[in-house]
Structure 1
Amino acid sequence: MRQLLQRLNNNSLYVIISLLIFGKGLGFYLNRRFFFYPPQLAWMMNNVYLDCSMMIVGVALLVYTCSRYNNNKLLGVLLALVVVLLAIISSIEIEHVIFAHEMEFVQNALSNMAIIAFIIWTARHYSKR
């Protein structure tokens, strides 16, 4: 138990990222009534597979962080998947701002881009120890 707490303490940024992406995926999964523009593509944008993949990647990153296994390539792949999923969500939100004039998505898109920048910075400057 002491070693697990030490690993979580040493890799706290990865724990934050994994909980963040899991929380976003869970939030999207539980809220099925989003507004989408154009309405004909709502089935594609409100896709349960995207939500579940965010939760799976979050759990996988947390399990990897808690494990003794140390492979920076695997860590890079997991962080890249998080960035790709957040970029997809950000592009959908930006599309809503441009075409549907839904201005409340600006804050979400900007926060997702800030999270992406944080993840890229974390991936560049930290490795699992």
Structure 2
Amino acid sequence: MSKRLKQLTKNADKNFNQMIIGVLIVAIGIFLWADKNYFFWPPQLRLLMNSEWSDIVFICLGICLLFTALTGNRSRKFQSILLILASAAVAMLLAEQVWHVLGAHKVEMIMAVILDAGLLTLLIRCAYKN
């Protein structure tokens, strides 16, 4: 059992950036699941933007990224697909938040925009190194 734990620790250390990304994406998914009124503008798209499906996608992507990082990224192709999907999801979230800041003048969301831009940068770096 100790050998498996050492291997998991070694994999987590080797894929630390991917572990951080996975945790952050799971946290975003949980937050969006809990707050069903996070997106409000434009009113016509409110239901679509606050859909539970997007929350589920974020949580599943984050868990998959964590799992592949802990198992040592055995399949580079699967890891690449996960990183691309996660980048697309975070980019869409970033676009929605920028839309709120610029269109609805919700300046309070600027911190979320900055943090999501940082997460997207980390995702792109991780995909590039893959």
TM-score normalized by the length of structure 1: 0.90
Matched, 1:38 2:47: no
Identify the match of residue 103 of structure 2 among 75, 99, 105: 99
Identify the match of residue 86 of structure 1 among 84, 90, 106: 90
Any gaps of 5 or more consecutive residues in structure 1?
A: none
1:73 corresponding residue in structure 2: 77
1:11 corresponding residue in structure 2: 15
Check conservation: 2:58, 2:89, Cα contact below 8 A: yes
Matched, 1:26 2:42: no
Query: How much has 1:40 moved relative to structure 2?
Result: 2.3
Q: Which deviations, in whole Å up to 9, do the C-alpha atoms of 1:3-50 show, x marking residues without a partner?
A: 111111111111111111011111110112225112222100101100
Give the share of equivalent positions with the same residue, in percent. Answer: 25
Corresponding residue SS for 1:13: helix
TM-score normalized by the length of structure 2: 0.89
Runs of 4 or more above 6 Å deviation: none
Q: How many residues align structurally?
A: 126
Supply the RMSD in Å over aligned alpha carbons. Answer: 1.4
Any gaps of 5 or more consecutive residues in structure 2?
A: none
Report the Cα distance in structure 1 between the residues aligned to 2:100 and 2:60, rounded to whole angstroms. Answer: 26
Identify the range of structure 1 (83-92 vs 114-123) with the bigger mean alpha-carbon deviation.
114-123
Q: Which deviations, in whole Å up to 9, do the C-alpha atoms of 1:66-89 show, x marking residues without a partner?
A: 225512221111111111111111
